[in-house]
Structure 1
Amino acid sequence: MNEAPPLIVALDFPNRVAAERMAAELDPHRCAVKVGFELFVAAGPGLVEGLQALGFRVFLDLKFHDIPNTVAGACRAAARLGVWMMNVHASGGLEMMRAAHDAVREIRPETRLIAVTVLTSSDAETLRGIGIDRSPEQQVLHLAELAVNKAGLDGLVCSPLEASVLRQRLGDAPWLVTPGIRPGGSGGDDQKRVMTASAALRAGASHIVVGRPITQASDPAAAVAAILEEMAKEA
């Protein structure tokens, strides 16, 4: 199920200089990297190409969500960059996800396309505020069915708290990429549904995303090593 490396470091920085400084402290054989909205807008495709030239697999975390034709075009452009993985919002609907799937397969079949279900910053109150009466778990299961079983996507971004039920529902094949990972004893920052790395793997996660516990550590390489050691206990 896994494709190494299962650890993804979130490069949540405001500019290319800061991101490349952090990348220089990381080993591409030990982790992939995630490039999100702020960094991609600031640094552009050149950063993605530069990280790939250093040997990193890049998860382009732009959560595409628009009309099907627009999302398909964005996915083609991302696939041409050669990214390892990208994502869309499952809440964009079945037609949008199918268009995204077909666009990625057309350009670069080996690129993984996954769907965001419910953001880890969201809880039941957040969902009620936008008119969704389901619990976060119920909404995740509903969107997971659309994304994986109907649209044919490769997996999901989900809270580690939903990984177990998703694994039971979807089987071993889909990737379950879980942000909201924190070392034991640390705070959750702005994420409400969090878990340790070892607990997420036990629950069924295939890949974990870690940001601040690595990128704000005094020794990022040592922080990576500690998390990998924790993960190895579950292998």
Structure 2
Amino acid sequence: MTQYWPFSGLIRQGALRERLIVSLDLRDREDALALVDRLARVVGMFKVGRALFVGGGPEFIRELRRRGAEVFLDLKFHDTPQKMLRAAVEATRLGVKMFDIHPYGSSCGSTEMMTRTRAEIARICRTEGLRRPSILAVAMLAELKSANSSPRSPESPDRVTEIARFAAAASLDGVVTWPHEVPRVRDTCGRRFIIVTSGVRLREAGSPAAHAITAADAIRAGADYVVIGSPIWRAAEPLRAVREITDDIERGLRNSPRRAFEILNPRPA
């Protein structure tokens, strides 16, 4: 399904909202639910991290799903193989649209753990009639330092593309990475590989700093999703903040060097 309608040159509005993931880095469960109620119709997904999940547990995810929200469960699963597989299965049963895993096996050039996770989730979805979530590897240098066992320095940009290659080889759906890594990952893994990025800056009045990467910049470089949190839920008018971000995403799509039919919606049905 393309993001552009070739006969009209227009971008579907639904495609714009699907590109935005709002991070629920709020301490209070009720505040998070209130924000979801306000934004569920205008954003594609909500990210739940460790703090909110520890506070609300699986029932919080179920409540989000009951309210019609899609969920990116950002727990970076990292444990023994058996425990990690169980966690991945339970995330799938909760109905999340995405979850991520720490690619600790890939530092040794092995894709075994990622491959096993992908295969087990596919099996569970077939046998239980569940929707298969997208499985992402964490390819952010700050997150990889503690797991690195390679002689290559974890500070090297090559580390990110290495993780992305291993994830693609294991048939994972994509990676989570920083905006400045997006072009390398896209060039390495192709157009159907999902790239989720966080750390983008909002477009502000005047000229942005030279090093700032906006949502438009990230999408133009090849990202499929941008994760934004506090600039939305701290805004006086969160709906207006969302509109400004989706406008920026549209600018990125219109100016993308990829041809119209290559700008795909990579999310599984």
Structure 2's unaligned 5+ residue stretches are: 4-13, 126-130, 206-210, 254-269
TM-score (norm 2): 0.76
In the TM superposition, residue 195 of structure 1 has moved relative to its aligned partner by 2.0
Of stretches 156-165 and 91-100 in structure 1, the one that deviates more from structure 2 is: 91-100
- 1:57 aligns with 70
Q: Aligned letter for 2:139? A: T
For the aligned residue pairs, the C-alpha RMSD in angstroms reads 2.6
User: 1:4-58: per-residue Cα shift (whole Å, max 9, x none)?
Assistant: 4110000011231121121122133433100010000000111111111111110
- 1:76 aligned to 2:89? yes
2:238 aligned residue:
220
Paired residues in the alignment total 225
Q: 1:85 is matched by which residue type in structure 2? A: M
User: Are residue 179 (structure 1) and residue 198 (structure 2) matched?
Assistant: yes
- Decide whether aligned partners of structure 1 residues 76 and 134 sit closer, same or farther in structure 2, where only a CA change above 3 A counts: closer
Aligned equivalents of 2:248, 2:48: Cα separation in 1? 24
Helix, strand or coil for the counterpart of 1:218? Answer: coil
Stretch of structure 1 that moved more, 95-104 or 34-43: 95-104
Identify the residue that residue 11 of structure 1 maps to in structure 2.
Answer: 24
Q: 1:231 aligns with which of 238, 241, 249?
A: 249
What percent identity do the matched residue pairs reach? 34
CA–CA separation in structure 1 for the residues paired with 2:121 and 2:39: 28
SS at match of 1:234: helix
TM-score after normalising by structure 1:
0.86
2:76 counterpart SS class: strand
Structure 1: 4+ residue segments shifted above 6 A: none
C-alpha distance after superposition, 1:111-153 (max 9, x if no partner) = 110110125x5799x999x97515442110111111112x110
- Is 1:97 paired with 2:114? yes
Give 1:198's aligned amino acid: A
Summarize deviations over 1:174-203 as a string: whole Å, max 9, x none: 1000011221359xxxxxx96210000011
Q: Flag structure 1 segments of 5+ consecutive residues without an equivalent.
A: 187-192
Say yes or no: does 1:144 pair with 2:164.
Answer: yes
SS of 1:233's equivalent? helix
1:44 corresponds to: 57
